[in-house]
Amino acid sequence: MATSNCLYHSCRLFTSLRITRQRKDFFNISQTKYFSYSYSTMFRSSEMQDQDIALLQVNRKRLMDELHHTCQWGIGERWGDGSNETGMRRLSLTDDDKSVRDWFIKTTQGLGCTTTIDTMGNIFAVRPGIKKGAPTYAGSHLDTQPQGGRYDGILGVQAGIEMLKILNENRVETEYPVGVVNWTNEEGARFPLSVHASAVWADKLPLSQAHGLASIIPPNKPTPFIDELSRIGYHGPTPCSYTANPMAAHFELHIEQGPQLEATGRKVGIVTGAQAYRWYTVSVSGKSCHTGTTPFEHRADPLLIAAKCMVQAQASAHIKKGALASTGVVKVAPGSVNTVPDEVTFSLDLRAQSDGVLDDLEKELKTVFKQLADGDDSCNTESFWAGNRKPCTVEWRTDSVSKAVNFNESCIECVAKSARSVLVLAGKDDTSAMRLVSGAGHDSVMTSHRVPTAMIFVPSREGISHNPREFTSEEDCAIGAEVLTQSVLRYDRLRVQ
């Protein structure tokens, strides 16, 4: 992809000019948000004080207008009467995805960036720094769920572009390049593997396997990823690899997709890592019989056991700090009203903030499920059922394992300081930010395996996500974008200390 950075080059002519101590004092004294810089003045990130960085503010209207503008590509389900009250259906590598990618390249090039496309279609827009070297990125994704909203992923990319605009407007020059990355198929909706392309970049998934993954969403017949990537013209020449196309750090602004920030009245989540999670399919086998003719003591009812296991899983997780247990899929065979089933399978999604807690939870549940299947309820509650029926058997199949991730301490500190800075200037209490652990997977989990990474969360209304009604207020989007911008700048400063 051709490079276009003419606007930026016009600024680069003035790199010898530096912000003066006097100017910074003025900032400190006035506490206004007004910059009276001349076009000849450049601010070098490593010389900016915290107070200076604090004054780099988002144009909230511009941020939201641009976000909603791009939602013309992939309009989803309408949920309200407002012009922006539609959800999103922008599946990876569709024509809508191509349109928003074209917009991304045109926009970032217009802001002075060099753009690079790799072999997985990831797009890296880079704004040059004073020195050469790996860029510090703001990144997220522009693809959505089939019944998705306007914020998941999209906000993170749009905030990165707003960052570029702020840096340009304020004539900030960074020590090293900074940039914005749009990761391909984060949702894993059309091609059924989430964080699909960032996993290849992090060398956690072979390219050939990633290219071969077939689409699962109609109306098209199953089509390999690589075919669709080529079709929309986004099979780039740059190797998808953290070694061939390195980054210095990765910051990601994302909606929380959960209720904790809103419920506690907070505005910013300082994300310190991601939960460990494991997915299992648990199968309980019993013996089918007639519901009308078979007394309880003669039954081996696998659905009764499965029901107890589901309740017990949540109870066991509940008493372990921060652990979660959930079931979303249940299959009952043969599935007749007057037949006690002979086989029940259910999904089990276990999560915890550490691998050790998850190990303990898995071990405990394997023991308890067997006790329940054997007819021993003493582990649970009243013994109203103990020994009162024939045993079932339980089998576990592990479908997916994701280890706990701890984000980089320096990156987390950049986010924490930036959050404090933004919130104080916005007149918020310092406690309006909280540290939390991501429950969902993100591209940042993949980048964190290779480079310093941290994330910023902003509130999701009612915790709703993967839903057309997903919503984050303009104020919260703007706060998040400012924290993102400052975090990138703070990290850039760190690189020369």
Which residues sit at the interface with its own copies, rule CB under 8 A?
256-260, 263, 275, 277, 279, 288-296, 298, 301, 303-304, 306-308, 310-311, 314-315, 317-319, 324, 326-330, 332, 334-341, 347, 349, 351, 380-382, 384-385, 388, 399, 438-441, 463-467
For its own copies, which is the closer residue by CB, 49 or 381? 381
For its own copies, which is the closer residue by CB, 330 or 401? 330
For its own copies, which is the closer residue by CB, 453 or 465? 465
For its own copies, which is the closer residue by CB, 111 or 300? 300
For its own copies, which is the closer residue by CB, 309 or 419? 309
For its own copies, which is the closer residue by CB, 353 or 408? 353
Measured from the CB of residue 219, what is the shortest distance to its own copies in angstroms? 20
Measured from the CB of residue 412, what is the shortest distance to its own copies in angstroms? 19
Tokens of 384: 């109203």
Measured from the CB of residue 348, what is the shortest distance to its own copies in angstroms? 9
Determine the Cα–Cα distance for residues 331 and 284; give it in Å rounded to an integer: 10
For its own copies, which is the closer residue by CB, 325 or 454? 325
Measured from the CB of residue 318, what is the shortest distance to its own copies in angstroms? 6
Measured from the CB of residue 1, what is the shortest distance to its own copies in angstroms? 35
Measured from the CB of residue 148, what is the shortest distance to its own copies in angstroms? 12
Determine the Cα–Cα distance for residues 14 and 137; give it in Å rounded to an integer: 24
For its own copies, which is the closer residue by CB, 308 or 420? 308
Residue 6, CA atoms < 13 Å, CB-side half-sphere = 5
Spatial CA neighbour of 77 closest among 143, 141, 150, 142: 150
Measured from the CB of residue 272, what is the shortest distance to its own copies in angstroms? 15
Measured from the CB of residue 313, what is the shortest distance to its own copies in angstroms? 10
Determine the Cα–Cα distance for residues 381 and 164; give it in Å rounded to an integer: 58
For its own copies, which is the closer residue by CB, 39 or 384? 384
Measured from the CB of residue 470, what is the shortest distance to its own copies in angstroms? 11
